Chain A
Amino acid sequence: MCVAGTRWVQTELLKKYPNANLRVYAVWFNMMPADSRSKWPAALLTDSRVTHRWDEGKVVGRWFAPRTAGIKPQLASGSAWGDGEILWDAYLLYGTNARWDDAPTGVIQWGRTIVAGHESLKEDFEKLFGSKR
């Protein structure tokens, strides 16, 4: 599922908005039994605006999970998230003024799964970068 979501990000967002002033942080970690660092799909997200990080301890997913309560209003339509300990197969979109002190501010929307939230994400990209195609 994650692979399908990240492929969609590459082909439907990054490729279609090559001039968008954007940074993508792809944080990879093991969640499924078959997952491992060696399975990282290097050819999936190749846009130069993407930074890939391997998170062996799942620290970022664990960090974000309890903080989603404060950003529930920004949960994308079509998305669903309960009270899991690790947020994964998820995205969080932040605006240009976002700043991370105790926690990141300026979330535009977030969603889980990436596939479930893709229509909302696509709409926001159009609003943000519609003139940058």
Chain B
Amino acid sequence: MRHNLCSVACAVAILVIGTSQAGRGPVSGALAAASSLIDLRSSDELKTQFNQDAGKVRLVLLVSPT
């Protein structure tokens, strides 16, 4: 009996947490995402991406990792 009550309580807790998270929906604006580093072979690759993003402000950063 005690075990069953515990199981029910856990299920309810999971349901409540899940519902509250789902209700939030996506936060407006940019979300932090796992970054990935993609190899660049030529400036043409950057050029292609640059032109694909026409209509947006674009910021190019030329940086070293340390």
Contacts and interface: CB of A to CB of B under 8 A. Distances in A.
Chain B interface: which size bin? 35 or more
Interface residues of A, number: 65
B15 to A, nearest CB: 30
A110 B39 CA distance: 24
A78 interface: no
A49 B61 CA distance: 13
A88 B32 contact: no
A32 B51 CA distance: 31
A59 B41 CA distance: 8
Given A34-B66, A94-B59, A100-B47, 20 more contacts: A2-B63, A25-B61, A27-B46, A27-B63, A29-B64, A31-B64, A32-B64, A42-B35, A46-B32, A46-B35, A51-B38, A52-B38, A59-B41, A60-B43, A60-B46, A60-B62, A89-B62, A91-B59, A92-B60, A94-B57
Interface of A: 2-3, 5-6, 9, 14, 18-32, 34-37, 39-43, 45-56, 59-61, 63-64, 87-100, 104, 114, 128-129
Interface of B: 28-43, 45-47, 49-51, 53-66
